[in-house]
Structure 1
Amino acid sequence: MANILTIDDDAAILRLITKMLKMKNHEVTGLQSLKDLTLEEINNFDLILLDVMMPDEDGFQICKRIRPFINIPIIFMTAKSDENSIIQGLTIGGDDYILKPFSIHEVNARIEAHLRREHRPKKQNTNTFIDGDILLDLAAKKIIIRGEEVGFTKTQYNICELLALNKGKVFSKDYIYDAVYSLESESQISTVIEHIRMIRKKFAQFDLAPIHTVWGVGYIWE
């Protein structure tokens, strides 16, 4: 049994696919868009069935946005049958391409084939930290929010990494200062407060507030 996400703006097709997959004892989540799911939630699925022609964000755009951060099969299901579209879908990170109208037996066979040979790690690897819509690329030292890279200074990134990788733990500004500044630094401990203010401002642009103040103690990533 697998946990499958299917995305299609056609409610009738969603019902058909959901019924078909549940008959094979799979868990199915059917959505008409991806706007309400975080990367963390997407990574909990074993496979994605993805329509291409959708009104807001098409399947190709969705695939390009999420593929760098997920390691599960993506199967396009679409009426776009021209060769260029098929090549594009497979080039940008799709694992398979099924044309509509489709055969239920073919869809089932392809899903089972991908699930059998799927050995990629499903969730975040040691080089990434994912918390809802926030992704920290630990190797590249970058922060990506909802697929968009956001500019943080080196010190701001280091503060975020310290707090995020220790989610739920409170750190004093003295500890943060010692952890992110070099011994030769001439910066003042008070600069930690200003950096956190700027970090919060950048997250607030996305209506996010992962860093909280524990009054009289320090800061925590929640």
Structure 2
Amino acid sequence: MFKIMIVEDDIKIREIILENLQKWGFDGLYVEDFGEVFNTFVKYEPHMILMDINLPSFDGFYWCNKIREVSKVPIIFISSRNTNMDIIMAMNMGGDDFVQKPFSLDVLMAKINAILRRTYSYSNIEANVIEHNGATLNLKDSTILYNEEKLDLTKNEFKIIYILMQNSGSVVSRDKIMRSLWEDESFIDDNTLTVNVNRLRKKLSDIGLSDFIQTKKGQGYIIL
């Protein structure tokens, strides 16, 4: 089932859109805390976003830009602002379409269906990010984002934190991590793993993620 996230300040409009999406068989969610748009996106993992421009605190252009840092998910702007400059900005910021208020629900649904078919017909529907306690791991460019700080990871660092975040709350043995690092046939011994983990911990600490990776003596590592 396709998941669609609604970022709309007008309560009546977002409820009408949500009701219509559900009639079409979509799973819908609208944002209520407009300071948590990005975090809601990461947790909900929608296949499309309907984004108003005029929002409390930060506008839709800002949130579109933040989401584009980690994802190519389709974004349709919905707004009463209809100047050429608004439409051009929406497209330049990464929007896929623009719907002017007041709008026809039939036209909106036609646009949603067309973009979903075009985007997902020939590709797997998979999340591009993993989120845990405010840290967002981008699977496409091997970066981790925390409190507005983005960190570039080496190949081995990415593999280590990827397997730990995939199994957050569970201990991952050193052997399992080393096997994942051996996939490219470059031998990683026990001491090399320790060096890689320590280097990764230092990097994470530099962006505020101290003690993100914890050691379970005699067992392995865990992210809680």
Q: Answer yes or no: same fold by TM over 0.5.
A: yes
| Matched residue, 1:104 | 105
| Matched residue, 1:201 | 205
Which among 173, 189, 195 is matched to residue 170 of structure 1? 173
How far 1:98 moved relative to its partner?
A: 0.4
Structure 2 residues not aligned, in runs of 5+: none
SS, match of residue 58 in structure 2: coil
Change in 2 beyond 3 A, CA 1:36/1:7: same
| Matched residue, 1:37 | 40
Deviation string, structure 1 residues 10-69 (Cα, Å, up to 9, x no partner) = 222211211222222322101132154252x343x2221111111222111111111242
Deviation string, structure 1 residues 78-108 (Cα, Å, up to 9, x no partner) = 1111101101111221111001111222212
TM-score, normalised with respect to structure 2 = 0.71
| Matched residue, 2:77 | 76
Is 1:24 paired with 2:24?
A: yes
| Matched residue, 2:3 | 3
How far 1:200 moved relative to its partner?
A: 4.7
Amino acid in the other structure paired with 1:135? L
State whether residues 52 and 77 of structure 1, in contact with CA within 8 Å, keep that contact through their aligned partners in structure 2.
Answer: yes
Structure 1 residues not aligned, in runs of 5+: none
Deviation string, structure 1 residues 98-125 (Cα, Å, up to 9, x no partner) = 011112222122112222322354324x
SS, match of residue 71 in structure 1: coil
| Identity %, equivalent residues | 25
State whether residues 156 and 196 of structure 2, in contact with CA within 8 Å, keep that contact through their aligned partners in structure 1.
Answer: no
State whether residues 142 and 158 of structure 2, in contact with CA within 8 Å, keep that contact through their aligned partners in structure 1.
Answer: no
SS, match of residue 50 in structure 2: strand
Q: Distance in 2 between matches of 1:25 and 1:218?
A: 44
TM-score, normalised with respect to structure 1 = 0.72
State whether residues 48 and 75 of structure 1, in contact with CA within 8 Å, keep that contact through their aligned partners in structure 2.
Answer: yes
Q: Distance in 2 between matches of 1:163 and 1:35?
A: 21
How far 1:214 moved relative to its partner?
A: 0.6
Amino acid in the other structure paired with 1:107? L
Q: Distance in 2 between matches of 1:190 and 1:26?
A: 46
SS, match of residue 101 in structure 1: coil
How many pairs does the alignment contain?
A: 204
How far 1:136 moved relative to its partner?
A: 4.1
State whether residues 171 and 220 of structure 1, in contact with CA within 8 Å, keep that contact through their aligned partners in structure 2.
Answer: no
State whether residues 72 and 122 of structure 1, in contact with CA within 8 Å, keep that contact through their aligned partners in structure 2.
Answer: no
Q: Distance in 2 between matches of 1:31 and 1:213?
A: 37
SS, match of residue 69 in structure 1: coil
Amino acid in the other structure paired with 1:7? V
Change in 2 beyond 3 A, CA 1:74/1:193: closer
| Matched residue, 2:216 | 214
SS, match of residue 68 in structure 2: helix
Change in 2 beyond 3 A, CA 1:38/1:75: closer
SS, match of residue 150 in structure 1: strand
Q: Would you tell me which structure has more helix in proportion to its own residues?
A: 2
SS, match of residue 54 in structure 1: coil
Change in 2 beyond 3 A, CA 1:105/1:191: closer
CA RMSD, 1 decimal: 3.5
How far 1:197 moved relative to its partner?
A: 4.9
SS, match of residue 37 in structure 1: helix
